[in-house]
């Protein structure tokens, strides 16, 4: 028998059917879900420690190793977005007082710097204006000056549209006894990336970009050098939830009987498994080609509209997220709103240091098609005709 009267009635909004608009997501992520991945999300749940679930987890690990191009046994999924994978890397590798060198050429470098500072690391930012990238010489100067245990670089900086070259950086870091940590959240699956061959020690990515899976899961892999640094810590990681030793056991990375750590998002992992399967069926090189060709077509259509690409050097343009300089006299918010309201297409403005400077158009996974390029450029052309233009 209830001992008190209810003070809060059932919310009226929850007594109505759920209504979701039909929308083409051409921002920097998340991306639209293909039918096969949506179907996976409708399957019945099983226990997170059932043998059938362990089989799915093992298949997911193999898929991640394929996309990362790594043979690292310590490869697993993090329950959380790409931010969570970044935090997992830093929480496990860095200890208070460690020197941490951070490439800050967009919002993800800013976030890495923030997390490192919260952990008590000695953070040394290498700051660039939006659109900038790092050369081997610049990084070597930072390594020699600060003697870090860890360098952070963003492979695909989705806030600025920059693709950071990675060849040579792993070898350079290792000469200075430094580990290389790379963010590939938006780049994975859409442009060449070779974890082992490029000497990357820690690589992470997310589910909701090129993989076209629901947001909320991310994945990470550690080299033997990174594992040695983590497993020889003097202090425990301050996060139990993100403790890699526990997660490695739960994901079957240590050849020991699996122990419960946390309740994994079973349904999301079904979807992630299918998204990895789709890329495996297509083939990585074919996926890279698809994104490269779609981006080139988009760049030509944008320039035909008289728009300026924000990243000047074609070799440094991120194929999955194209940044366009906000045209003079326009408010970027008017353009984004017009395209959404009149065409049901979502593009985004800038983020972090690129706010107010750019429009961001994403071609991610199944959305990277010429048809979608035609749709979004038609919408952009209409927006430029109808949105109010301020007098300069």
Annotated binding site: 360
Using the Cα atoms of residue 311, residue 312, residue 313 and residue 315 in order, give the sign of their dihedral.
positive
**Distance in angstroms (rounded) separating the CA atoms of residues 133 and 312:** 12
Residues in Cβ contact with 360 at an 8 Å cutoff, skipping those fewer than 6 apart: 27, 28, 158, 159, 161, 321, 322, 323, 324, 347, 348, 349, 350, 351
CA nearest 101: which of 73, 122, 131? 122
Residue pair 311/317 in contact by the 8 Å Cβ criterion: yes
Which H/E stretch holds residue 278?
helix 266-282
Within 13 Å of residue 50, how many CA atoms lie on the same side as its CB?
Answer: 8
**Distance in angstroms (rounded) separating the CA atoms of residues 189 and 267:** 22
**Distance in angstroms (rounded) separating the CA atoms of residues 190 and 287:** 6
When computed from its CA atoms, the radius of gyration of the chain, rounded to whole angstroms, is: 22
Residues in Cβ contact with 90 at an 8 Å cutoff, skipping those fewer than 6 apart: 100, 112, 115, 116, 119, 121, 150, 181
**Distance in angstroms (rounded) separating the CA atoms of residues 306 and 91:** 46
Which residues does residue 124 pair with via DSSP β-bridges, in sequence order?
101
**Distance in angstroms (rounded) separating the CA atoms of residues 19 and 5:** 32
Which structure tokens are listed for 286?
Answer: 């074919």
Edge-to-edge strand order for the sheet containing 202-206?
A: 75-79, 217-222, 202-206, 179-183, 150-154, 99-104, 122-127
Q: At how many degrees (to 10) do helices 370-386 and 284-304 cross? A: 30
For residue 255, the tally of other CB atoms under 10 A from its CB is: 7
Which structure tokens are listed for 231?
Answer: 């497993």
Q: Which residues are annotated as a binding site for substrate?
A: 360
CA nearest 193: which of 212, 178, 180? 180
């Amino acid at each position: 028998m209830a001992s008190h009267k209810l003070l809060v009635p059932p919310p009226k909004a929850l007594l109505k059917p759920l209504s979701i608009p039909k929308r083409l997501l051409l921002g920097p992520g998340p991306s639209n879900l293909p039918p096969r991945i949506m179907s996976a999300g409708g399957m019945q749940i099983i226990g997170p420690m059932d043998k059938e679930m362990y089989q799915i987890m093992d298949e997911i690990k193999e898929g991640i190793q394929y996309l990362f191009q790594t043979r690292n046994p310590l490869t697993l999924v993090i329950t959380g977005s790409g931010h969570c994978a970044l935090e997992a890397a830093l929480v496990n590798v860095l200890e208070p007082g460690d020197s941490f060198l951070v490439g800050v050429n967009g919002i993800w470098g800013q976030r890495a710097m923030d997390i490192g500072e919260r952990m008590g690391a000695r953070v040394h930012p290498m700051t660039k204006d939006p659109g900038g990238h790092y050369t081997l010489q610049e990084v070597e100067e930072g390594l020699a000056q600060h003697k870090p245990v860890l360098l952070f670089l963003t492979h695909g900086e989705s806030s600025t549209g920059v693709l950071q070259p990675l060849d040579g950086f792993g070898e350079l870091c290792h000469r200075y006894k430094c580990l290389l940590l790379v963010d590939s959240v938006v780049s994975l699956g859409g442009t060449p990336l070779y974890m082992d061959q490029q000497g990357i020690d820690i690589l992470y990515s997310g589910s909701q970009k090129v993989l076209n899976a629901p947001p909320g899961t991310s994945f990470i892999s550690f080299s033997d050098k990174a594992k040695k640094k983590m497993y020889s810590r003097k202090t425990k990681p301050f996060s139990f939830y993100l403790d890699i030793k526990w997660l490695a056991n739960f994901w079957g990375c240590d050849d020991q009987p699996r122990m419960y750590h946390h309740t994994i998002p079973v349904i999301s992992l079904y979807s992630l498994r299918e998204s990895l399967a789709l890329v495996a069926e297509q083939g990585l090189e074919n996926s890279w080609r698809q994104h490269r060709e779609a981006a080139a077509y988009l760049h030509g259509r944008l320039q035909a509209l008289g728009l300026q690409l924000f990243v000047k050097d074609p070799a440094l343009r991120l194929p999955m997220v194209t940044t366009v300089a906000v045209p003079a006299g326009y408010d970027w918010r008017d353009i984004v709103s017009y395209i959404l309201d009149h065409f049901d297409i979502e593009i985004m403005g800038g983020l972090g240091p690129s706010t107010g400077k750019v429009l961001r158009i994403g071609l991610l996974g199944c959305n990277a098609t010429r048809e979608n390029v035609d749709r979004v450029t038609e919408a952009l052309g209409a927006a430029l005709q109808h949105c109010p233009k301020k007098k300069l």
